[in-house]
Each structure stands twice: as C-alpha cells, then as structure tokens.
Chain A
Amino acid sequence: MKIAVFIKQVPDSAAKIAVENGVVKWGDAPLVINPWDEYAVEAALQLAEKHGGEVTAFSMGGDSSKEALKHALAMGCGNAVLINDAALAAVDAAGSARVFAAAVKKLGDADLAVFGKQAIDSDTGLVTAMTARVLGWPALTLVALVAELDASAKTIRVERGVEEGRQVVDSKLPAVLSIIKDFGEPRYPSFMGIRKASKAEIGTWTLDDLGISAPDAKVSWPELISPPKRDVTTEMITGSSPEEIANTLADKIITEGVL
C-alpha cells in the first residue's frame, strides 16, 4: 500500500497568541507538528505496518516546516516532501486541497491520503473533505478506528466519531481519511528514528513540479482581531460550611438567569 500523510507546522498549543500590526505573534513558543496530525501519522504507520507498504509525509509551507517533516520521519515515515512555493503564501483551504490532491496524484498509486482532524492555527477542518472531492475519492472524516482493510480487494471499514456516537462505514479504496484522538496515542520518535531523520534529505516540490498553477484564493482574511477581553468581576464565595457555600453559590447562579 502507498499512503500519503499530510502534516502542518503550527505554534505550540500552549502559545499565547496575539496580533501585532496585523500579524499573528506567538512569542517565543516553539513551532511543532500540529497535534492532530500526530494521530494521522500514527494511523498511517500502523496501517502500513499491518498491511505492508510505505508512508510518505507531506507538508506545505516554508523551510521551517521541514522540522515537522523530520518529526514524521523520526516517527517512522519512509519519505518526506516539502511543498514550498512563494505563490502559496495566501492559499486558502480549497487551494490547499487542490495542491494536496496534485501531490497525491504525483506520488502515484496511493491507496490512502491521511490527515489530522484540523490544524490548531487556522482551525478550518475543511481540507480532508475538500481534498477527497478534488480527487473524486470518498472522504472518511473523523476516523476513530480502522476495523478492516483489504488492500487487494480495495475496501476499508472504519468507525467514525460523530455527534451521535460511532458510525460504521464501508468504503472503496482509494480514500481520504482524517483521524481523531480515539485512534490511539501517537508513538514517540525513537532514538534511531531521530538519528535517521536528522540525516534525511527532504525533497521540495514546487507548483511546477506538481503541474498546477497557483489556485485562486476564494477566501481572504483581511483583518485579524483581538477577541474582546472577558470583562468579569470575580466574586469569591465563602462560608462556614460546604452547605452554606453551596447554597449561596446556587442562589447567585440562579440570579444570573442562565438556568
């Protein structure tokens, strides 16, 4: 099986995010592989280990995104490719999907393209379904478990985590998957993996290499806004016993009119 996994480099989730002169700043917080994408890498590796095959990790971005790719290599991915092109600076979700679909096609004969649930910076959660639609493949989003996979018959059974519970879906391959945390904890890179990744050559593909022109931006984001400060006066509730505190608190909450 040939599996493509797509990852993104993002500011660490513990970062304090602020806007300065219209630009997002995250202080001295490190850039890391998007936490959701670690589950995608884990799923891709497990499927390749179980059913045979190789995993190629892709990331779109500048040279700094090579660090995220090295993390994926250290976890066990066989290859990594950076998609880097100045024309992609303001690419939106639909444009990203067109680029990723072109990368899947260039890789050739892929059975699965695997994504994380969403990126914790842009938070769109759109790219998996969009990429599937560009490829004309089914989108199996929010996968918690791959219950069955038959690489020769080209079929897969997954359990999806949706609002109402687990949905069991049968699908043909190739397919595009997004993975959620229920799939299982991502592995830590091994010492050998880290050594291998540090020496690895990461190839770069441009739009020319992919054979596509820069997608038009259907969505633009002209302005970043600091969220309104939470204007709250905290009232500490005290009392001589838990019962007294609880009674006061319950009365106060009821007075707020939110029950």
Chain B
Amino acid sequence: MTREDALAAITKALTTTVGDIDGTISEDTNLVDDGMLDSLDSMTFLFELETDLGMKLEAIDETYEDFRVGSIVDIVVAATA
C-alpha cells in the first residue's frame, strides 16, 4: 500500500468514527492532540482502520500513543508491504 492509499484508509476510518471532518488531514495532523479523537474515539478509529485493512496492526498495542497521521501511515505501509 502506498502512503497515499494509507492516508485514504486513515481518512475513511476517521470519517466513519466521527462523521464528516472539516477540511482534510495531512501527515502532520495529530488526531488526538488536534482534538479530532478522544480516547474512546481512538479505539473506534483503530477498529475501523483494522477492519478496513483486514488485518491487525501489531505495532499499535495497548500502550500506543502516537496519533500523528504520518506515524500511522508508516505503520500501515509497513504492515501491508
């Protein structure tokens, strides 16, 4: 999966989780720090992302805290390589 594809999958999971989002997200967006997801939403987001990808993202364990989009793109690209 390319970075663009990963970003599209993340955007889709985000939209499913919180509804329509204002503007677009970039790899610099931090989904939690920028207020797009609270801790409950972050679980739904990860569930939707993993469901859409059809795989468990092993790099995102229970202690994972980095919700910068670029970091999640890195994980998705690596997991789908």
Partners in one complex: no
Residues of B within 8 A of A (CB): none
